A and B are shown apart, each in its own frame.
Chain A
Amino acid sequence: MEHSAGAGPAWALALEHSALGETLRQAMWLYPIANVLHVLAVVAMIGSILAFDLRLMGAAKALPVAGLARLLLPISAIGFVVAVITGSLLFIADATAVWNNPVFVYKLALIALGLVNIAVFHFGVWRSAEGWAVGTSAPLSAKAGAAVSIASWVATATLGRLIAYF
């Protein structure tokens, strides 16, 4: 955006004016493709997270937690990686405007919260997961982690969409 050029931290300006930033803005379909892939990645990621977290919170206790984890967690991990790559492309194309957007920093904070929650869960209560495989309730801390997970990732996606409206 011409009139906002120069408004923003030097690193954001450098990203925006890089060859990649220039290409993303000039190529007709690169940006829309990155945008579509970003949405699909977020859908895959949050859909699988939601299903897994609901199981931890007590839904469908007949389904084995470990089996669900084998199916769903790689989908969410791959979705996250694709979302980070495509999100970076969308950011680079318009870095100063996005950085100046009042919503964006809260989205980053929520991603940080979601990742910390994953780390706490996997290095903590998840190591005792064999004990609550089928038919039993997950421990309270696992349920709490699942609730934080759903809240943080749904809020992340919500703020991501709201960037366009603030």
Chain B
Amino acid sequence: MSPYQARAATGAALILGSLAFAAVPALAHHGWGSYDSTTLTTLEGTVRSVSFSNPHASAQLEAQGKVWTIVLAPPSRMSSRGLPDGTLKSGQTVSLDGYIHKSDLVELRAERIRVDGKSVELR
């Protein structure tokens, strides 16, 4: 190894090492593996707000005396499955099946949602 290469390699090792020890916040939201898929939970409640946005739509749902964050599907899929922007509205009563986040116990990844008498698969 030339002195230049040795210097560069040392630099790379230092960068990697310091990054590896940097504090990584434990806010591991939204990862597909972060939901407890062993238990399917059904919620019925009132929609409080809807965010029809990428990478996936989400909604706040009041159910069982709590306000839940519901992770829905990407807007393109919502639209093609019959729930375009504006069809899911606050004030609506909906029910849905999904998996609860392992560490954030009021976040649920919805597998399907029933709204206005129709059931929409989100996966």
From A31, A93, A113, A166, contact of B16 by CB (8 A): A113
Give chain B's interface residue range (CB within 8 Å of chain A).
35 or more
- Check: A141 CB closer than 8 A to any chain B CB: yes
Complex Cα–Cα for A123 and B61 (A):
58
- Which residues does chain A contribute within 8 Å of B107, judged by CB atoms? 3
B45: shortest Cβ distance to chain A, in Å?
Answer: 16
- Check: A117 CB closer than 8 A to any chain B CB: yes
Can you name the residue of chain B whose Cβ is closest to the Cβ of A30?
Answer: B54
- Check: B65 CB closer than 8 A to any chain A CB: no
From A3, A25, A141, contact of B1 by CB (8 A): A141
Provide the main secondary structure of the chain B interface.
mixed
A113: shortest Cβ distance to chain B, in Å?
Answer: 5
How many contacts A-B (CB < 8 Å)?
Answer: 97
- For chain B, residues 33 to 84, give those with C-beta under 8 angstroms from any C-beta of chain A: 33-34, 49, 51-55, 58, 60, 69, 74-76, 79
Can you name the residue of chain A whose Cβ is closest to the Cβ of B16?
Answer: A109
Q: Mark A90-107, 1 if CB is under 8 A from B, else 0.
A: 100110010011100110
Known: A26-B53, A119-B8, A120-B5. A1 touches B58 (CB 8 A): yes
From A27, A93, A102, A106, contact of B28 by CB (8 A): A102
A28–B79 CB distance below 8 A: yes
Can you name the residue of chain B whose Cβ is closest to the Cβ of A99?
Answer: B25
A31–B27 CB distance below 8 A: no
- Check: A124 CB closer than 8 A to any chain B CB: yes
Using a CB–CB distance below 8 Å, which chain A residues touch chain B? 1-4, 7, 24-32, 90, 93-94, 97, 100-102, 105-106, 108-109, 112-113, 116-117, 119-120, 123-124, 141, 163-166
Going nearest first, the 6 A-B pairs with the smallest beta carbon separation are A31-B54, A25-B53, A109-B19, A100-B27, A166-B31, A116-B12
